[in-house]
Chains A and B, each alone.
Chain A
Amino acid sequence: MKRPAVWVTAGIAVVIALLVVVLATRKPATDRLVKSPLVGKDAPAISTTTIDGSSRYALADQQGKWVLVNFFATWCVPCQREHSELVQFANAHAATNDAAVVSVVFSDEVSNVVSYFKQRGGGWPVVRDDNGAIATAWGVARVPESYLVAPNGLVVIKITGGVTDDFLEQQIARLESAK
């Protein structure tokens, strides 16, 4: 009777070990590059009012610099986690003005977004997308999702699950060197 028990225990141990190996070697939930039909194509237009309603934002006006188009919601935990990374990225490029961030609100209240930015910082444009026209034009399924737009206006990468400053810098350096 002892032998079957040993074999069963060994089998379970092997399965658990395999599971650990698979999970440990998977890509992290953040910085996950994913396929998108938009990659290599002109970025869909973003031309709308900012959340305070006082000014207009047009992605077309940003040509000549890298633009990270970030879709987020205040209720989304990975979005909260990536926010400090976005602040770091935006601050690093504020002086050189060679890269910028624009955030698109995904299914959220403007009042929540205003207090979210007040608490966490970030002075980049944040635009409304009340009926989801921007999100659906960009193929957003869930937040956070970000798209990096090259200075020539082409979408170059899509990232799901949140971004980090390091990852964005690496990607920009890689794409710059590939030119």
Chain B
Amino acid sequence: MTRRLAWLALGLVVIGALVYGVTDRSTATAHERAQKLGQTIMCPACSGESVADSQAPVAVFIRHQIADMVAKGESDEQIRDSLTAAYGDRIILNPPKSGVAGLVWVLPVAVLVAALAGLVVVFRRWRTPLDAHVTPDDVDAVERARRAEGS
């Protein structure tokens, strides 16, 4: 019973930590929000740079648009949707959470769950007592070995 409670407590702590970790608790200013969003948008004229890091004219324009939309109160999702409508999904540096690309997010969690389940199965097997009995032949063999050692 105590052991079960301990596992339950551990599970709650892990879930709590995960929820705490993924929740955005920041009270960012409009500028900070635009900057953060810019880091997730790829500069379409550069190779692998975000619009926040690039000085290409198009990156400057996109930064300006992001700032404008943030000032108008549009959500991050709306801003991303507006940019992907014009530039396509490739402009988003973070992979989308749906479709085939969504596997990038799902697979690590699935692997982790499978690994934990595997560990649980292995630990249970280790704790299960072996179904072995001592036969008279075994007793005789041990006796013979002892006598052989003593002589």
- Residues of A participating in the B interface, judged by any CB pair closer than 8 Å: 35-38, 44, 106-107, 131-133, 135-142
Contacts and interface: CB of A to CB of B under 8 A. Distances in A.
Contacts of B57: 106-107, 132, 142
B58 A140 contact: yes
Interface stretch (B11-19, B85-93, B128-136): B85-93
Interface in B54-110: 56-58, 60-62, 64-65, 68, 83-88
A137 B45 contact: no
A141 B64 contact: no
A136 B85 contact: no
A106 B58 CA distance: 9
B61 A136 contact: yes
A161 to B, nearest CB: 13
B58 A135 contact: yes
Contacts of B64: 131-133
Interface of B: 44-45, 56-58, 60-62, 64-65, 68, 83-88
Given A106-B57, A141-B44, A136 B62 contact: yes
18 contacts: A35-B88, A36-B88, A37-B85, A37-B87, A38-B86, A107-B57, A131-B64, A131-B65, A132-B60, A132-B61, A133-B61, A133-B65, A136-B83, A136-B86, A139-B44, A139-B87, A141-B58, A142-B45
A133 B93 CA distance: 21
B45 A141 contact: yes
Contacts of A138: 86
A102 to B, nearest CB: 18
Contacts of A35: 88
Lowest 4 CB-CB distances: which A-B pairs, in order? Answer: A132-B61, A139-B86, A107-B57, A141-B44
B44 to A, nearest CB: 4
A132 B88 contact: no
Contacts of A36: 88
B66 to A, nearest CB: 9
Nearest to A38: B86
B61 A137 contact: no
Contacts of A132: 57-58, 60-62, 64-65
